[in-house]
Structure 1
C-alpha cells in the first residue's frame, strides 16, 4: 500500500469526536509530541465536549481549530491523520466520507469498525480503492503489556498448537456517554459488538484462525433496568457466555459480566495449547506460563511492562502504544501496513453480531450467515 498523504516534519492530527475517548486520544497524542505530532483540529457537534477538549489543548499549548462536523474538518485540509472516536453508529458515514474525500487522510478509527457487518464490508471495499491511505482499527487491547507478552509467548510456540482460549471480563457497567447513546443496541451494535469485539479479536489472534460458528447465552439481569431515556428502557445485555469455534479446530470462550466491580482483575486470559498453558491478568499486569511436561512446579510468573509507555491512561498504556505503532506505519509511507487492519475490524464485528443473533435465536450461528 502506497501512503500518499503529504507528511511534513510534524504529523498533523484531527480528532473527530471529542467525548471521553476522543479526549483520551488527545492526551495520548500530547505525550507523543516529542515524536513530532500535533493535534491541530477537532470536530464535534456537542459544545460541552468541544469545551473540555479545548481546555486540555490549551494546557498543552496546542491551538485548535474547532469544527461542528467532520465534513468541515475534511474540507479545511489541515490534517494528515484523523482519529475517529464518535458514537459507534456514526462510524460508517464518517469513514465513507473520509475514504471518498479527494484529499487523502490516514485514519485511526475506534472500535467497533461499524455496528453492522454490511457497513463494515462497504468500508473495507471502499478503502481497497484508496491505496494512498492507511486505516487502522482501534483494537488496542493487543497492546496491553501482559496481553502483548502472552501473544509473544503463544506466537513463539511455547504452548504448542493452541486448542482453547478463555477470556473473562468482569467489570463495572457501561459508563454514561453523550445523550446516553450507548444504552441501546441500535446505536452501539449491542454489548457483544461494542465491548467484546476486543476479545473476539484476541481469540482470533491467539488461535491463528478464522471463526466458523458462534453460540451465546446472555441477558439483561442487573444494569440499566431502572433507566428510561425518551420513554425507552435500555436493551443492552450486561452478562453473557460466548463460545466461538475456529476453522483449525480450536475454540474460544468469553465470560462477560458487567456488574462485577468486586474483582481483583478486570480481564483474565487463558490460552491452552497441546504442550502448555499461558495466562495474562489485567490490571495486575501478571503473566504466567508453563508446560505439561514440567507441571505446576515449572510455571513461570513475570511482571509485564513496556518502557515505551509515557501515559497509562484509561487502558493501561495500550492506547499510547497503539498511537506509537500507527505513527510508525504513517511515517513508513507505504512500507508498513497497519497492525490492526480493516479485515480484523470486520471479523471482530462479525463474531459479535453472530453472538448477539445467537442469544436472540437460541442456536449456533454460522459466521457465513452474518457475513452474507
Structure 2
C-alpha cells in the first residue's frame, strides 16, 4: 500500500491524538503541520520533529510530499478550510466532526460535495470503538430487527481548548452538534434509516456557569435528552450528562428488537480513571435474548498501545487504517459528506427543539440533505 504523508491542519488536543495514532499506522507519517497557536505548534513539533511547520494552509499544500490531509481545527473553521483546499489542491481529506455549525452553511457544503474530486472522510471515531463495532456487527441477529436504540453518555465536562473556543454555541454549533453528532451518526448507521422527527430538552445547568471570556459568558450546554423518530418506524434516544465523570462506563448503547437486546459498555479515557480504584474497566458486550432468557457477557479488550494513544478506545487508529485504504483507492469512503451532513442536521434540529419546546420535522428544515 502506498505511503500516506499527512498534512495536518489544526494540531491542538485532538490533533495530537491523531499524531500519536498516525505513528502507529504502517506506511503513514506526518509531512507538514499548520497550527497557529505557538504552544500547540511547539508541542506538535516535539512529537514529529521531521514535519514542516507551515504558516498557512497554502504553505502546507505547497509541501510536495503531502498527499493527504487531516483537519482537526475548531469546528467553525472546517467548512472554510475545505473550501480553501478545494481551490488550491484537492487531496484526500479526513475532516474532524462536525462538518458545519450553522444552517446557513448547508448550501456551501452542497457545492463542495458537488465539486471535490478526491475522497473526503468525516471523522466519526465512535463507529470504530471495538465494543461499538461489535454491537453493530451482531445487532441484527441479536435483536431480530432493532425497534428501539438508546445511547447514553455520562462523562466529564468539556476540556479546556485553545482560545476557549469550545465554550460558546456560536463556535461549536452547540453541544448537540459539537459533542453529539457522533451519536446521531451512530443512530443512522445502526438503524440503516434516515430520521424524520427530532424532539429534545437540554440546557446548561452545572458546568461553566461562572466562566466569562472577553466579557462573554459561556453558554455551552451540559445535559440533554433527545428522541428521534426514523423513517423505518424505529426510534432512538440520546441521554447526555457532562457532569457524571464518576461513572464506571462513559458510553452505554442498547438496541432492542423482537428477539432480544444487545448492549455495550465503553469506559472513558484511562487517564481519568482514579488510581485508588485499580485498573480501568474493560469494555463489555452483553447479549440478552428473550428466549432462553439470560444475559451473556463478553469482555472486549483493546490493545494497551491504542488506549495510550488517545481518548477514544482505540477507534482513532482503526479509523486511520480505513482512511488509508480509501485514500489509496483500496476501498470506498465509509463516512461520507452525506453522513456528516445528516449528523449535523440532527444536532441542529435537536438544539432547535430544546430551545423552542417543539418537535422539529427534518423534512422541512433549511439545513436538510438535498
Note whether the superposition's TM-score is higher than 0.5: yes
CA distance in 1, matches of 2:334, 2:305: 20
Distance 2:161 2:179 in 1: 14
Superposed CA deviations along residues 257-299 of structure 1, whole A, max 9, x for unmatched, are 001111010111111112111000011310001222212x2x2
C-alpha distance in structure 2 between counterparts of 1:305 and 1:369, whole Å: 43
The residue that corresponds to 1:330 in the other structure is 327
What residue number does 2:96 align with?
110
> Does residue 1:39 correspond to 2:39, yes or no?
no
Q: Alignment partner of 2:297: what SS?
A: strand
Q: Structure 1, residues 108-167: CA drift from partner, whole Å, max 9, x if none?
A: 000111112442452343233233x11000101000011000000114x33112111111
Instruction: Give the Cα–Cα distance (whole angstroms) in 2 for the partners of residues 120 and 144 of structure 1.
Output: 29
- C-alpha distance in 2 between matches for 1:22 and 1:120: 25
Matched, 1:18 2:4: no
Alignment pair present for 1:122 and 2:144 = no
Aligned partner of 2:124 among 139, 150, 156: 139
Q: State the Cα distance separating 1:304 from its structure 2 match.
A: 1.8
- Where structure 1 has 5 or more consecutive residues not aligned to the other structure, the ranges are 1-7
TM-score w.r.t. the length of structure 2 is 0.91
1:340 aligns with 2:300: no
* Preserved CA contact (<8 Å) 1:310 1:320: no
| Farther off after superposition, 65-74 or 197-206 | 65-74
Deviation (angstroms), 1:223 = 0.4
Tell me the secondary structure at the aligned position of residue 143 of structure 2.
coil
Relative to the length of structure 1, the TM-score reads: 0.91
CA distance in structure 2 between the partners assigned to 1:291 and 1:118 by the alignment? 46
Q: Distance in 2 between matches of 1:150 and 1:96?
A: 36
Matched-pair contact (CA < 8 Å) for 1:124–1:342: no
Q: Is the partner of 1:158 in helix, strand or coil?
A: helix
Shift of 1:37: 1.1
What SS does the corresponding residue of 2:216 show, helix, strand or coil?
coil
1:5 matched to which residue of 2?
Answer: none
Partner of 1:54: 45
Count, aligned residues: 351
CA distance in 1, matches of 2:331, 2:320: 14
Q: In the alignment, what sits opposite 1:293?
A: 291
- Determine if contact 1:245/1:252 at 8 Å carries over to the other structure: yes
Tell me, yes or no, if the aligned pair for 1:18 and 1:86 is still in contact at 8 Å. yes
Residues 307-329 of structure 1, C-alpha deviation per residue, up to 9 Å, x if partnerless? Answer: 6x852221110000000111111
1:28 pairs with one of 21, 24, 28? 21
Q: Distance in 2 between matches of 1:174 and 1:82?
A: 26
Quote the Cα distance in structure 2 between the aligned partners of 1:352 and 1:121: 17
Match of 2:133 in 1: 148
8 Å CA contact retained: 2:302, 2:313: no
Question: How far apart in 1 are the matches of 2:194 and 2:107?
Answer: 16
Q: Is the 8 A contact 1:193 1:353 kept in 2?
A: yes
Residue of 55, 68, 77 corresponding to 1:90? 77
Looking at structure 2, the residues matched to 281 and 186 of structure 1 have their Cα atoms a distance apart, in angstroms, of: 32
Structure 2 gap ranges (5+) = 268-281
Q: 4+ residue stretches of structure 1 with deviation over 3 A? A: 75-78
SS of 1:338's equivalent in the other structure is coil
Once residues 118 and 153 of structure 1 are traced to their aligned partners in structure 2, the CA distance between those partners, rounded to angstroms, is 38
Root-mean-square deviation (CA, aligned residues, Å) is 1.6
* 1:1-372 matches, cutoff 5 A: 9-32=2-25, 35-58=26-49, 63-101=50-88, 103-131=89-117, 133-155=118-140, 157-283=141-267, 284-295=282-293, 297=294, 299-305=295-301, 310-312=305-307, 313-331=310-328, 333=329, 335-370=330-365, 371=367
